[in-house]
Chain A
Amino acid sequence: MSNHQLNPNNWIDLYSDYLFNYTITRVNDREIAKDLIQDTFVAGLKSMKNFKGEANERTWLISILKRKIIDYYRKINSNKGKAEVRMTYVNDDQEGDWLEERAEDDGQLNAEETIENSELGDAIYNCMDKLSEKEATVFKMKTILGYETETICNELGITASNLWVILHRARTQLAECLEKKWL
């Protein structure tokens, strides 16, 4: 029985930040991450007829994105790393494994740290889903993007005291939510 429906008009508003964060923790490059989520949305649009409604929209888009990320690593490895791959992985049936291993290793964090960061990022985004649109926007602009108070106020047409009230509500809710789910 299908429960979930697709509404591509809302995809960017609802999922672009989540997908972007998911991608950047795996590819470690802002431009590539943007391209991959663009490709994901387009691929989602083209395969809408295959959607059975068993998963929710975000899970479905993430499953497409995972394939895009694997394709990306497959592509860069086919260009520059064939020889190394042959030396390390002998059997053809190990192909899926090495792709995932390579995808997780960004060279700066170890595998465990990368996984933990990406899970923590997911938990933060899940908690941000519970904020109102305005609270989430202000929190992202101030905390994640590091914009100046004045810039945010001009951008959103709010006063500085409004901003601090919104930010206080957002931080309180996020702290409570993360305390339950992560801390």
Chain B
Amino acid sequence: MEEISKRKSLLFISCEEAFHICDKKQYGEASFWEMLKLNLRLIWCNMTKSYVKKNNQLTTTIKTSRVECLHKSEREVLVERFNEHLKNEMQS
């Protein structure tokens, strides 16, 4: 009996765990075993289905947009240069 319940817990996951695996999947960090558990849950859980759909859509949207931001080092250079100007402006 205990053995069966152990096997069940290995295969059947909670919604929270499914969401977590789905998040990891967006960055290619979900393992084969995790994907299997997620796909199993997807068969019958509507909440998981809805989350996976929205999450995949978000990833596609971000990729399509080609949105960009500054790297930390680039920002630091910007801050350093701007602070010099700020200091000069305050003094004048």
Residues of A with Cβ closer than 8 Å to B? 8-9, 11-12, 16-17, 20-21, 24-25, 30, 34, 37-38, 41-42, 45-46, 117, 120-121, 124-125, 140, 142-145, 149, 155, 164, 167-168, 171, 174-175, 178-179, 182-183
Contacts and interface: CB of A to CB of B under 8 A. Distances in A.
Interface string B66-92: 111111101101110110011001000
Contacts of A120: 61, 64-65, 67
A9 B85 CA distance: 11
- How extensive is the interface on chain B, given as a class? 20 to 34
Contacts of B26: 171
Nearest to A11: B82
Interface stretch (B1-9, B16-24, B38-46): B16-24
Given A20-B69, A120-B61, A42 B82 contact: yes
Interface of B: 19-20, 23-24, 26-27, 29, 54-55, 57-58, 61-62, 64-72, 74-75, 77-79, 81-82, 85-86, 89
A45 B62 contact: no
A125 B20 CA distance: 24
- Which are the 6 A-B pairs with shortest beta-carbon distances? A17-B69, A120-B65, A175-B54, A175-B58, A121-B67, A24-B68
A8 B22 CA distance: 40
A30 to B, nearest CB: 8
B67 A38 contact: no
Contacts of B20: 164, 168
A125 B67 contact: yes
Given A167-B23, A175-B54, A38 B65 contact: no
A112 B58 CA distance: 21
B78 A16 contact: yes
B78 A8 contact: no
Contacts of A143: 27, 62
Given A41-B78, A124-B62, A175-B54, 11 more contacts: A25-B66, A34-B74, A117-B65, A120-B67, A121-B68, A140-B69, A145-B69, A149-B27, A167-B23, A175-B55, A179-B54
